[in-house]
């Protein structure tokens, strides 16, 4: 071949194919790549692409001695996660990897397996005050019911997706779509969901939710009443009355305890909805995706005419939502009708401060699953002992190295924040069910006591020596080190 290639093209001589490899690409084998003009062995082949798409520095997996110590995680300590470890299902046999290592002078064992979870789901916390849909209504993906709307919590709406009834209890299509939806959410991908009689949302773990095409930026600073309390002092003297529009509790400065204490004069303002206590109103409008989680786009719609007995011409009124994203400023004309005016400089700061105090709105995805019979049998010949050991905090449960919250009560039902796990940690099988990594770490002595498969324990060094298809990832900074021996009284 006589073609002239760019100067940073390298010719690989690792095999007789003699590939020309361009910068940032791999050769025909996908094992040798051109990294910054240098021929580098990359093993396994996914490493190069992953690192490129994430913008993180490439970690060359060099074969020469001393360049790489073969560890999945850099540094002194190495923890073998279950991601890609394989599974024993449906055979009742020892987990694919049972690894021993010494940590702070203590012999520890980590049982590493991937679980097939048909009893699993995700809990979604969507930071929004917008009305996503009535409680108990179906949440759908691709038209199939995959979960339901559950409780509204502080500044957020909870959705519960998956679970065995959607995965295997419905039609084949329902199961398949549920599985896909859970898989995508757990792997950090964006998913589009619609709620019966409600909104259409796009959500991804750790990302702001998009409600009816609109990206949520901020959580509300508080309910409308709380907002009045927080900002009353800053408004006093600069405006005659303030309405903080909120689907939950709309606050009115002049009637609110905070206003009264400051001596704010009565303004004759009148508002739709049901009065809870002075200055606090429920149901000023229908829930929706407008101001403060109501369905209104024109805030004047929630006001009744001002009472002539108290109101006066040129009365200054600020209306603002609980996130500060929407605001409007009015002055009353001679017939006591509000006329919109530009927001005075003196009030801008308070509106911005509401916005500033609203935390970023995110979607949180917690995977929840139960470690069942065959999975526990991969750990011990007497599965209930594993449950007991977990409950007594002798055994730590992690998912891809991320800490798992274990529910009290029977069984090993756990929850994990998927953003604390390495990327693409989840897989699926067409059962349909999700495949999730799970690791059980405990003292070697305790492992023997609970009837563990001690004959299958292999030293860490031996596992690491099988360099093929191991991938090195760095432990996430906020995760506790999974191998650390338990201390008494520690929360796992």
Shortest Å, Cβ 119 to another protein: 17
Instruction: Kindly tell me which of 69 and 466 has the beta carbon lying closer to another protein.
Output: 466
| CA distance between the termini of the chain | 61
Cis check: omega of the bond before 209, within 30 degrees of 0: no
**Cα–Cα distance measured from residue 216 to residue 358, given in angstroms and rounded to the nearest whole number:** 11
Contact 440, 99 (CB under 8 A): no
Shortest Å, Cβ 235 to another protein: 47
List contacts with another protein (CB under 8 A): 1, 3, 5, 9, 13-22, 25, 27-30, 45-46, 84-87, 90, 96-97, 114, 116, 180, 424, 427-430, 435, 466-470
Instruction: Name the region of 251 (left: φ>0; alpha: ψ -120 to 50; beta: rest).
Output: beta
Instruction: Kindly tell me which of 107 and 192 has the beta carbon lying closer to another protein.
Output: 192
* CA neighbor of 26 nearest in space, from 5, 2, 47: 47
The strand ranges marked E within 71-190 are 97-103, 106-117, 120-127, 138-141, 144-153, 156-162
Instruction: Kindly tell me which of 180 and 240 has the beta carbon lying closer to another protein.
Output: 180
**Cα–Cα distance measured from residue 125 to residue 121, given in angstroms and rounded to the nearest whole number:** 13
Contact 128, 248 (CB under 8 A): no
Shortest Å, Cβ 363 to another protein: 19
Shortest Å, Cβ 444 to another protein: 22
Instruction: Kindly tell me which of 53 and 488 has the beta carbon lying closer to another protein.
Output: 53
Instruction: Kindly tell me which of 170 and 273 has the beta carbon lying closer to another protein.
Output: 170
**Cα–Cα distance measured from residue 95 to residue 75, given in angstroms and rounded to the nearest whole number:** 26
φ and ψ at 425, to 5 degrees?
Answer: -80, -15
Shortest Å, Cβ 314 to another protein: 54
Coil, strand or helix: which one is 390? helix
Instruction: Kindly tell me which of 116 and 483 has the beta carbon lying closer to another protein.
Output: 116
Structure tokens at 250: 């709309």
Instruction: Kindly tell me which of 16 and 489 has the beta carbon lying closer to another protein.
Output: 16
Shortest Å, Cβ 20 to another protein: 4
**Cα–Cα distance measured from residue 485 to residue 463, given in angstroms and rounded to the nearest whole number:** 21
Shortest Å, Cβ 357 to another protein: 37
């Amino acid at each position: 071949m006589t073609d002239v290639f760019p100067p940073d093209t390298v010719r690989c001589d690792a095999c007789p194919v003699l590939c020309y490899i361009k910068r940032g690409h791999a050769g025909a084998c996908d094992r040798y790549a051109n990294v910054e003009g240098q021929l580098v062995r990359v093993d396994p082949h996914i490493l190069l692409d992953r690192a490129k798409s994430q913008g993180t520095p490439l970690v060359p997996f060099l074969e020469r001695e001393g360049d790489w110590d073969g560890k999945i995680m850099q540094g002194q300590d190495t923890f073998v996660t279950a991601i890609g470890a394989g599974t024993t299902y449906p055979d009742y046999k020892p987990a694919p990897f049972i690894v021993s290592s010494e940590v702070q002078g203590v012999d520890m064992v980590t049982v590493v397996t991937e679980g097939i979870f048909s009893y699993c789901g995700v809990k979604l916390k969507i930071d929004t005050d917008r009305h996503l849909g009535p409680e108990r209504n179906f949440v759908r993906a691709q038209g199939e019911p995959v979960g339901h709307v559950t409780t509204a919590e502080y500044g957020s709406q909870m959705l519960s997706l998956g679970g065995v009834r959607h995965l295997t209890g419905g039609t084949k299509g329902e199961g398949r779509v549920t599985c896909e939806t859970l898989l995508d959410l757990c792997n950090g991908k964006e998913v589009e969901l619609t709620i019966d009689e409600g909104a259409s949302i796009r959500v991804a773990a750790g990302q702001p939710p998009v409600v009816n095409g609109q990206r949520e930026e901020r959580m509300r600073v508080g309910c409308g009443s709380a907002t009045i309390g927080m900002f009353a002092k800053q408004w006093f003297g600069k405006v005659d009355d303030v309405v903080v529009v909120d689907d939950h509790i709309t606050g009115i400065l002049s009637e609110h305890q905070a206003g009264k204490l400051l001596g704010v004069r009565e303004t004759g303002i009148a508002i739709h909805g049901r009065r809870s206590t002075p200055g606090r109103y429920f149901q000023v409008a229908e829930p929706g995706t407008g101001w403060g989680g109501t369905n209104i786009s024109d805030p004047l719609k929630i006001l009744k005419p001002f009472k002539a007995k108290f109101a006066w011409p040129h009365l200054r009124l600020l209306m603002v939502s609980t996130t500060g994203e929407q605001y409007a400023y009015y002055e009353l004309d001679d017939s006591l009708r509000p006329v919109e005016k530009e927001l005075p400089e003196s009030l801008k700061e308070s509106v911005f401060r509401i916005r500033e105090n609203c935390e970023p709105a995110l979607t949180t995805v917690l995977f929840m699953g139960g470690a069942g019979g065959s999975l526990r049998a991969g750990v011990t010949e007497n599965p209930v002992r594993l449950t007991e050991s977990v409950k007594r905090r002798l055994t730590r449960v992690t998912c891809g190295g991320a800490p798992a919250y274990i529910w009290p009560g029977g069984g090993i039902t756990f929850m994990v924040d998927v953003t604390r796990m390495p990327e693409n940690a989840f897989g699926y099988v067409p059962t349909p069910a999700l495949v999730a990594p799970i690791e059980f770490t405990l003292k070697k002595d305790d492992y023997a006591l609970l009837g563990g498969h001690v004959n299958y324990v292999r030293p860490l060094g031996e596992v690491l020596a099988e360099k093929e298809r191991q991938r090195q990832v760095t432990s996430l900074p906020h995760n506790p080190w999974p191998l650390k021996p338990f201390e008494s009284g520690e929360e796992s």
